[in-house]
Amino acid sequence: MTQTLDPATRHAEWSAWRAENERRRRDPYGYLAYRAVHFLETEPRTFPGVPGVWTTGPDGPVVELGAGESLLVEDTERTGTIVFGPVREREFRRAARTGDVVLELSRRGGRDLLRPLDPTYRLRADYVETPAFEHDPGWILPAVLERYPQGRPQQVRAAVAGIEHTHEAVGEVVFTVDGAEHRLVVFGRDDDPGSGILLFRDATSGVTTYAASRSLALPLPGEGDSDLVLDFNRAGNLQCAYTDHAPCPLAPARNRLPFAVEAGERTPVLRGGREADR
């Protein structure tokens, strides 16, 4: 969605961004439908409600289906042994189906994962809404990107124990609030070299916003340019703000702002709270 400097258009685009986020969250097979996160290993493993015995290795995830078991793969019913092939880092592959449940294969921090997407999972019914601060033009800030001479791989903690991400830091975004200069590390995006992402915390974290991280997508300036705009009204929640089954990368320690960014999405409202709190 292209952003402009016109205030009315910015507000309309922000409203559309909010609506699209809610639409994705409420999708029957959106991330609120993750029923579990299972680690695949070289040793055979079985998982509740998932047919077969699962392993992974050089050929990627493999399932051995027993007598009477089957999976739907690309609209074809399969039995016996299914080799899914290697999974790319940060891939979301909806690889098979069993009844109404979609089996998603992914890879995070070099580890292969299996996550069932179940449209009847209780978290979907428990989700109420994601409130946000009112759109405030005062949180649209001019900034400069100071690029590193080359990308710097950086280890990043994940919201799920046992996973550590590696993201490429492309530079630091520099901006001023109340006369003080601040710097945040910017990570590049595998799927879009022209975009970056800020993972950050601030004085609202754990108070009115999700404690672990918020994220802000950034269109990166072209070669020879360094100016950009930080629109904190677009600060959004990561999947891990909602579900314990999302191994999201978390903000590096240096990306903590000492003031309250009262802009963007706030703590999600879930009946009974997040699963970890129940």
Does residue 51 sit within a domain?
yes
Sequence letter at residue 133: F
Task: Tell whether 139 and 103 lie within a shared domain.
Answer: no
Does residue 277 sit within a domain?
no
Q: Which tens digits make up the pLDDT trace of 177-206? A: 999 999 999 999 888 888 999 999 999 999
Average of pLDDT values for 112-134?
Answer: 97
Q: Residue 98: give the domain boundaries.
A: 36-117
Q: Which tens digits make up the pLDDT trace of 25-70? A: 999 999 999 999 999 999 999 999 999 999 999 999 999 999 999 9
Measuring CA to CA, which residue among 25, 20, 12 is closest to residue 268? 25
pLDDT at 2 over 50: no
* Mean pLDDT (the chain, rounded): 94
Average of pLDDT values for 66-90?
Answer: 97
Task: Tell whether 211 and 158 lie within a shared domain.
Answer: yes
Query: Do strands 101-108 and 76-78 pair parallel, antiparallel, or not at all (unpaired)?
Result: unpaired
Task: Tell whether 144 and 259 lie within a shared domain.
Answer: yes
Are 71 and 103 spatial neighbours (Cβ–Cβ below 8 Å)? Answer: yes
Task: Tell whether 63 and 140 lie within a shared domain.
Answer: no
- Cα–Cα–Cα angle for 67, 73, 74, nearest 5°? 155
Does residue 83 sit within a domain?
yes
Task: Tell whether 90 and 159 lie within a shared domain.
Answer: no
Where is the domain boundary, 68, 88, 117? 117
Residue 147 pLDDT class (50, 70, 90 cuts): very high
Average of pLDDT values for 69-89?
Answer: 97
Task: Tell whether 193 and 217 lie within a shared domain.
Answer: yes
When divided into structural domains, the chain yields a total of 2
Task: Tell whether 167 and 203 lie within a shared domain.
Answer: yes
pLDDT at 15 over 70: yes
Task: Tell whether 97 and 139 lie within a shared domain.
Answer: no
Are 73 and 95 spatial neighbours (Cβ–Cβ below 8 Å)? Answer: yes
Are 47 and 114 spatial neighbours (Cβ–Cβ below 8 Å)? Answer: yes
pTM metric for this prediction = 0.92
To which residue do tokens 């699209």 refer?
Answer: 20
| H-run or E-run covering 192 | strand 192-200
Task: Tell whether 202 and 92 lie within a shared domain.
Answer: no
Task: Tell whether 138 and 59 lie within a shared domain.
Answer: no
Contacts (Cβ under 8 Å, ≥6 apart) of 250:
156, 157, 158, 159, 199, 212, 213, 240
pLDDT at 4 over 60: no
Q: Which tens digits make up the pLDDT trace of 108-118? A: 999 999 999 99
Q: What pLDDT shows up at residue 193?
A: 80
Task: Tell whether 98 and 170 lie within a shared domain.
Answer: no
Average of pLDDT values for 155-162?
Answer: 95
Task: Tell whether 98 and 172 lie within a shared domain.
Answer: no
Where is the domain boundary, 63, 86, 117? 117
